[in-house]
Structure 1
Amino acid sequence: MLADMVAAILFSAIAMSAIVAVRYLLASGAFAWATHLRQPGLYRGQGGQMRAEIGWSLLSAFIYGAPAGVVAWGWRAQGWTRIYDDPFAYPLWYWPVSVLLYLAAHDCWFYWTHRAMHEPRLFRIAHAVHHASRPPTAWAAMSFHPWEALTGAIVIPALVFIIPIHVGALGLVLTVMTVMGVANHMGWEMFPRWLVRGPAGAWLITASHHQRHHEQYRCNYGLYFRFWDRLCGTDRGLGDFGEKRAIP
């Protein structure tokens, strides 16, 4: 009985890791192809860097997938989590609220762990892998040292034990996480100027904001929202992809 349970957990972890790896390849591949069409030659001369980004990212995919697979098994087999699939288990208004709660919690975790990764010792040990991409490409979204990947891999699996969420809402959270992780590194801005430089853009992170982080390192640490950067004085405005000025 115990052996069967261990085998089921192991299978779920491996299967989820494979899913995360395929999701990464499809998402980053799609955005890399879009970059080829929209910005021809943008990644010229970065072949070696992109191969390194893919290698680190696939390793990270298995680190992200393992705890997610254990949680998925626990949800289905044991009912351990607060994931639900009955759309009427909670009021319908809670569906979008839960998505925002997850994004806000993930953003908070990411800001503080990311900022910690820029302390000299942790940067040398782990975060330097991510910043070896100069400039990053669409393949760099999960290009992390295993220690850094581990800090990112635990947050969503931990939240499903705390905050109730519909399985579809969780899928949306993971989609946003994937799309923004790739889009913020691809070297050009896919969102319209009116959004990026309008009132919403003052609080949302897009490629223009994260580009500034990869230029200057000690600023713009957030993932989805500029709240923590603004509150803590680490927001340095938007990068302009080649221009040196910052836009507040």
Structure 2
Amino acid sequence: MTGPLLTSVLISAAAMTAIVAVRYLVTSGGFAWATKHVRPGLYATLDTQIRKEIFWSLASAAVYGIPAGIIAWGWQNRGWTLIYSDFSDYPLWYLPLSLFAFLFAHDTWFYWTHRWMHRPKLFRIAHAVHHASRPPTAWAAMSFHPIEALTGAIVIPALVFVIPIHVAMLGLVLAIMTLMGVTNHMGWEMFPRTLVHSRLGGWLITASHHQRHHEAYTCNYGLYFRFWDRICGTDKGISDAFAR
């Protein structure tokens, strides 16, 4: 790879790292601000923990941003990936199908790698960083050891080589991933009880469900859906505190 070409790739990786970091700070910061007003005092004694969550999350931004930046460069300059920008390339009905395919594939990868991270040795080496958030806060969404961050960073870049997706739908995937990553950790439920306790809510993961994972560790491993938890017998319902 020539000097100018390498420089171009490095700039793309650095730019994507900055985008991921800013996205984290804005989204987590926004929901932390909302928590301060909706649940005053919830994070009052967690300043030291929050500083650690921000440190690990900004480190994770580089782990996520570098491969994403390289793939973005390859898509724009070399035609890598199956990302498309012309709506006429595929039927319109394919747009929501590709969105669901990405979310389900990501959820499947996350469920099984998450369970893997709970093996004793890997937990001590890597996943313990995330579970040091007791209780989790809005700042904990990306608080991962680099080893764990890497398992999450490769999945979306890999999927764009396998599943065709419009760039707008890819942006929506990333928005949903960010939103659910933050809201599932913020320590209170933003979605209405009518949704959480509905038939649909029984298949979706929200803070009520993920909070139990941070309480009991050996259950509720999913990211978006409760499908794999239900199939594998690891769904233990919502947190008792949230149920009240």
Q: TM-score range by the shorter chain?
A: over 0.9
When the two chains are superposed, the root-mean-square deviation of aligned CA atoms in Å is 1.0
Q: What's 1:177 paired with?
A: 177
- TM-score normalized by structure 1? 0.97
Residue 32 of structure 2: aligned partner: 32
Contact 1:189–1:206 (CA under 8 A) maintained in structure 2:
yes
Q: Structure 2 matches for 1:207-222, cutoff 5 A?
A: 207-222=207-222
Distance 1:41 1:4 in 2: 52
> Partner of 1:150 in structure 2?
150
**Aligned match of 2:100:** 100
Partner of 2:17: 17
In structure 2, the CA distance between the partners of 1:236 and 1:6, relative to structure 1 (3 Å rule), is same
Equivalent residues in 2 for 1:65-104, closer than 5 Å: 65-104=65-104
Separation (CA, whole Å) in 1 of partners of 2:59 and 2:42: 26
| 8 Å CA contact retained: 2:211, 2:239 | yes
Letter in 2 for 1:171: G
Counterpart for residue 61 of structure 2: 61
Map of 2:165 onto structure 1: 165
Q: Hey, what does 2:122 align to over in structure 1? A: 122
* Alpha carbons of structure 1 residues 69 and 109: separation in structure 2 relative to 1, 3 Å: same
Q: Distance in 1 between matches of 2:181 and 2:48?
A: 21
Identity in percent:
70
Q: Distance in 1 between matches of 2:2 and 2:79?
A: 18
Cα deviation code 1:80-131 (max 9, x no counterpart) = 1100000111000101110000000000000000000001000000000000
1:114 counterpart letter in structure 2: H
Supply the AA of the counterpart residue of 2:24: Y
Asked whether the equivalents of residues 126 and 144 of structure 2 are also in contact (C-alpha less than 8 Å), the reply is yes
User: Whole-Å Cα distance in 1 between the matches of residues 241 and 183 of structure 2?
Assistant: 14
Contact 2:188–2:242 at 8 Å: present in 1 too? no
Q: Deviations over 1:8-32 (max 9, x none)?
A: 1111000000000000000000000
Q: Which residues of structure 1 form unaligned runs of 5+?
A: none
Give how far 1:241 is off.
Answer: 3.0
CA contact (8 A) 1:188 1:241 kept: no
**What is the alpha-carbon distance in structure 2 between the residues aligned to residue 97 and residue 214 of structure 1?**
32
SS of 1:88's partner is helix
Could you tell me whether the CA contact under 8 Å between 2:99 and 2:169 is conserved in 1?
yes
Name the TM-score, length of structure 2 as normaliser. 0.98
Q: Which residue of 2 aligns with 1:238?
A: 238
* SS, match of residue 19 in structure 1: helix
Give ranges in structure 2 of 5+ residues lacking alignment.
none
SS at match of 1:91: coil
Matched residue of 1:241: which SS? helix
Q: Find the aligned partners of 2:7 and 2:100 in 1 and give their Cα distance.
A: 35
Give, in whole Å, the separation in 2 of the partners of 1:31 and 1:115. Answer: 27
TM-fit CA distance, 1:240: 3.5
* One-letter amino acid of the structure 1 residue matched with residue 25 of structure 2: L
Q: Deviations over 1:141-169 (max 9, x none)?
A: 00000000000000000000000000000
Contact 1:187 1:241 in 2 (8 A): no
Alpha-carbon spacing, 1:226–1:7, altered in 2? closer, same or farther (3 Å)? same
Q: Which residue of 1 aligns with 2:137?
A: 137
Q: What is the match of residue 226 of structure 1?
A: 226
Tell me, yes or no, if the aligned pair for 1:213 and 1:219 is still in contact at 8 Å.
yes
Q: Post-superposition shift, 1:5?
A: 1.1
Q: Return the offset for 1:4.
A: 1.3
CA contact (8 A) 1:195 1:201 kept: yes
Structure 1 position 242, deviation (Å): 6.3
